[in-house]
Chain A
Amino acid sequence: MNTLLTRSKNLGQYGIFGAFLVICLGLAVVNPQFMTVSNWTIIITQVSINALLAFGVTFVIITGGIDLSLGSIVAVTGVVAASLAHPDTYPVVVPIGVGFLSGVAMGALNGLVITKSKVPPFIVTLGMMTIGRGLALILSKGRPISNLSDSFNFIGGGSVVGIPFPILILVVFFVICTLLLKKTVLGRYIYAVGGNEQAAMASGIRVNKVKMAVYTLCGGLAGLAGILLTARITTGQPNAGAGFELDAIAAAIIGGTSTSGGTGTMMGTLIGALLIGVISNGLDLLNVTSYYQQVVMGAIIIGAVVLDSWNQKK
């Protein structure tokens, strides 16, 4: 049983990895500009924000939950960070720290309400999505916050030894999230809760604590994404991040995370996020209108899930 599960999981992941390679090869043939180092640097930079959100939501989806408030958390943390990041006010750690913590707080609040009230995560985080959007508008008075310090903008636009900073952040958090999920007790509990909540509870896992941890983690990663986005577009906008949660969930699902919980890997999610980025970049390079981009993206999401369910049956 156990080997069967891991085998099917791997198959799903190979499937999407294969699809990813085929799409990349296809784009490389059609447009020689696609396979250049400079283009890939841009793709990965663009993907970094969605990937951070997708890592967070992968934890949540593995436990069998969902988080729809990601986009709003991005907006709140972006606005909070921006309001503290004006030149010659605070050192750059303050906007980063406070922004990150506001993401953590919102995630923890999600977790608290979900575990205490037993209301489905879909509804709690849907509520938080609206609350967060409202908070972002209140904090910013409905206006974008600009004039940010250079050291803050460096997070989104700077590079270290030729590598854009967002890519470095992406790599670091990919490693951290992978280790957390694969090598720690918490990681095993996360799979256990999503696989069978009753059984997990019976075997002594404190399910509520695990859930609390994943939503908090997800909020924190969304906070980082919000800071990254704000630094990238050099302004904190209350309407930023709208719809980001759907891209993040799409990345996780394309990467083989099952919405019924219990399965999923960070590698899969990373490839899912890269696939979304590659398609949008490739279609821009080919000058395909965005109408078709949306159709292609939707088809790939459905295709990934169909592939996954076939593999489950095998």
Chain B
Amino acid sequence: MCTKVLYELYIHYFEFTLFQPKLTYNTMKRTLIGSALCALLLVGCGQGSSENKEANGSKKITIGVTMLSMQNEFIVKVSDEIEKKAQEMGVELIVVDAERSALKQVEQVESFIAQKVDAIIMNPCEVEASSPAVTKALAAKIPIVNVNSETSAAPTAFVGSDDVESARIAMKYIAEKLGGKGNILMMHGYMGQAAQIKREQGAREILKQFPNLKLLAHQTGEWDRAKAMSLMENWIQSYGPNINAVFAQNDEMGMGAVNALTAAGLKDKVVVVSIDAIPDALQAVKKGTLNATVFQNAQQQGANALETAVKIVKGEKFEKQTLIPFQLVTKENVETLLK
């Protein structure tokens, strides 16, 4: 907690000076106040952690964790599980939020390196732009585990799921439901993001296998429920009764499509499938409005990432790549996920 505050202060001060064209009296004053605050906190933190060490007798393992965005329900679940597991295993955690900025994430990893943590768990913001974080950690001989998504630079270990596979599962279900023949609409996430590219790739692989499945139109819904709802309303206007199925690349958009189709009285005729298995989507699957979703196991990803990191620190044997399998969720098996 203390380190988190310190870290935030440091970043704040850093960004502030970065964007100042020149050093004015005010920036100098701010810098001085910032440094003084940091120093004060440092003294406080130092005392705190030394007490910790005395109480435990031996040095605790410290792991720095940087997450893509704490505004994303799925990511929060992964992070919660990492913290739960850390408590079980008696590991000290420093968890920070990169707020979707790869630049910020690299800075966070740099500060982890400066703090000499034993290992780093990173939930990368971007494939390329977050890569320098991996290179820097490895250069400083600190093991780094990527969780949930990948970077182009190879980390010490990777724990996650293959997004391409999730879309294959969803599209296969649609193909099955339609008997291999029909008109499909696809809603993309933010264009160019790793998840969007991979989910599109998986969906298109399956579409190729079924020449009678026709992709009527595809458009971005920006992962957003309201945007997807408007898009679906517009699609209903132009394709109406010709629509047989909708594949949305995440549940938020799937829910938006369901809302629009229900309002237009078409839901019974159109199959809607999406990915992520967020609580709302599970409820909808139970009610039968959403036909299926694909469950990505946040708990297992989080727990496994921490276990892997601890194994590496202790010098035990570990898996270089752990792929947590997906699971198709339909009305038949939804109860197992609704605890």
Interface residues of A (CB under 8 A from B): 31, 33, 36, 38-39, 42, 45-46, 137, 142-144, 146-147, 157, 229, 232-235, 237-240, 280-281, 284-285, 287, 289-291
- From A31, A137, A233, A291, give the contact of B238 (CB < 8 A): A31
Min CB distance A246 to B, Å, is: 14
- From B219, B229, B237, give the contact of A33 (CB < 8 A): B237
Tell me whether B39 is interfacial, beta carbon within 8 Å. Answer: no
Chain B residues lying within 8 Å of A143, measured Cβ to Cβ, are: 73, 76
Q: A42-B237, A234-B259 given. 17 additional CB < 8 A pairs? A: A46-B230, A147-B283, A157-B259, A233-B255, A233-B256, A235-B255, A238-B71, A239-B71, A281-B234, A281-B237, A284-B219, A284-B234, A284-B235, A284-B238, A287-B219, A290-B220, A291-B191
A38 to B266, CA, bound (A): 14
B71 engages A233 (CB within 8 Å): no
Interface residues of B (CB under 8 A from A): 70-71, 73, 76, 191, 217, 219-220, 225-226, 229-231, 233-235, 237-238, 255-256, 259, 263, 278-280, 283
Closest residue to A158 on the B side, CB-wise? B263
Chain B residues lying within 8 Å of A147, measured Cβ to Cβ, are: 283
Chain B residues lying within 8 Å of A46, measured Cβ to Cβ, are: 230, 233
Min CB distance B335 to A, Å, is: 18
Closest residue to B226 on the A side, CB-wise? A233
Given contacts A142-B73, A144-B73, contact A42 B233 (CB under 8 A): yes
Q: What are 7 pairs between A and B in contact, CB < 8 Å? A: A31-B238, A46-B233, A143-B73, A143-B76, A238-B71, A280-B230, A284-B219
Min CB distance A302 to B, Å, is: 23
B217 engages A287 (CB within 8 Å): yes
Chain A residues lying within 8 Å of B259, measured Cβ to Cβ, are: 157, 232-234
Chain A residues lying within 8 Å of B237, measured Cβ to Cβ, are: 33, 36, 38-39, 42, 281, 285
B280 engages A290 (CB within 8 Å): no
What 7 A-B pairs have minimum CB-CB distances, sorted nearest first? A284-B234, A285-B238, A233-B225, A287-B217, A39-B237, A42-B233, A46-B230
B217 engages A137 (CB within 8 Å): no
Min CB distance B260 to A, Å, is: 9
B71 engages A284 (CB within 8 Å): no
Given contacts A46-B233, A239-B71, contact A232 B226 (CB under 8 A): yes
Given contacts A157-B259, A290-B191, contact A284 B231 (CB under 8 A): yes
B71 engages A137 (CB within 8 Å): yes
- From A146, A240, A281, give the contact of B280 (CB < 8 A): A146
